[in-house]
Amino acid sequence: MPCATRPDPATGGPGTNSALHGSLYPAIWQVNLALRARGLGTVITTLHLHHAASVAALLGIPDGAVQITMLPVAYTVGTDFKVAARRPVDAVSYLDRWGTPLPYRDKPVDRLTGEDHG
């Protein structure tokens, strides 16, 4: 259960939430990768935050600590992980302003191997 105690979003200025979460998510992603390398799987979830006070009481999380995410961890069933189906990057990303297309096209990627064919 990654938590943070600063910067405090309640007392910080604009950008405090971004600073708080943005500084932790790279570390959270590294934990995901380390778990996978050991045959374990996890997922980033924030649904528990609807009950953050109850979770804090259950786990002894002190006042002032912000719960960032929950990482349930389990052994996976098999290890034949595949690239997830995703929309092309130019369908979900823009340049300089919303709706302005990127100046390049996606390179085709083999969905089974992840190999770049562009």
The pLDDT tens digits of the residues spanning 67-109 come to 999 999 999 887 777 777 878 887 888 889 998 888 877 666 6
- For residues 91 and 54, is the Cβ–Cβ distance under 8 A? no
Q: What is the value of pTM for the model shown?
A: 0.64
In the numeric block, which tokens belong to residue 114?
């992840």
Which helix (H) or strand (E) segment is 40 a member of? Answer: strand 40-42
Q: Which of 57, 54, 66 is nearest to 12 (CA)?
A: 66
